[in-house]
Amino acid sequence: MRGKMSALLLLVLSAGALLCCADAQAAYNQLPDNYKKGVDMALQQINTYSSIQHHFLFFRDMKKSDIQPGFSVTYIYHHFHLKATKCPRGTADSGKCQFRNDRPLIDCAVCYKMFEDRIEQEPKPYVHCVHRPALTEEMKVDRMNHCNTMSYINGQPSILLVKGTEQ
């Protein structure tokens, strides 16, 4: 009887771990392609820091918005969280990485200009990511100011004033 209970418990825990991993990938997979590119850009920047030891994955949206002034141009703003996984930094196949719950989230804000389906290099894409405990109100204001300045060209509305999605 004890052996059957242990086997059942192991099966339930394994299924939960698989669902956790599937949910992590599902959140990213549900993003529109234009927003995935910004998440990828942030993850690439995070992985350049030698102090980062774990593989990070997209965790959840906080806010996203865009302006489409025409001529195949889109200005994107995306505020989201990344979460550490149990996989080491640089893991190529992150499909099996499980989230860690003992590390702080990384809070990211990105804004960039897209032409057709490519991120433009001018104006320079903005990526600001910081561990949540270190995020200050001043940093939040600086992020908004930077992104508003980037998108406010020739009388276009501010990217952060456009109605987006908040969660």
Helix, strand, coil: what percent of the chain each, to 5?
Answer: 40, 30, 30
- Residues 31 and 41: beta-carbon distance below 8 Å: no
Residue 40 phi/psi, 5-degree rounding, is: -60, -40
| Nearest Cα to Cα of residue 52 among 85, 81, 26 | 85
- Whole-prediction pTM value? 0.78
Share of the chain above pLDDT 70, in %: 75
Over the stretch 49-76, which tens digit does the pLDDT of each residue have? 888 899 999 999 999 999 998 899 999 9
Q: What integer best gives the mean pLDDT of the chain?
A: 82
The C-alpha atoms of residue 140 and residue 124 are separated, in whole angstroms, by 19
8 CB-near residues (< 8 Å, 6+ apart): none
> Domain of 31?
2-166
Over the stretch 17-36, which tens digit does the pLDDT of each residue have? 444 445 667 899 999 999 99
User: What is 61-74 written as a DSSP string?
Assistant: EEEEEEEEEETTEE
* CATH for 124: 3.10.450.10
Report how far Cα 133 is from the mean position of its chain's Cα atoms. 17
Residue 161 confidence (pLDDT): 54
| Nearest Cα to Cα of residue 123 among 77, 58, 164, 165 | 77
Q: Total domain count for the chain?
A: 1
Helix (H, G, I), strand (E, B) or coil at 89: coil
Bigger pLDDT: 160 vs 48? 48
For residue 106, what are the β-bridge partners? 82, 131
Over the stretch 120-142, which tens digit does the pLDDT of each residue have? 999 999 999 999 999 999 999 99
Report how far Cα 96 is from the mean position of its chain's Cα atoms. 18
The C-alpha atoms of residue 43 and residue 60 are separated, in whole angstroms, by 14
Bigger pLDDT: 8 vs 136? 136
- Residue 151 scores a pLDDT above 90: no
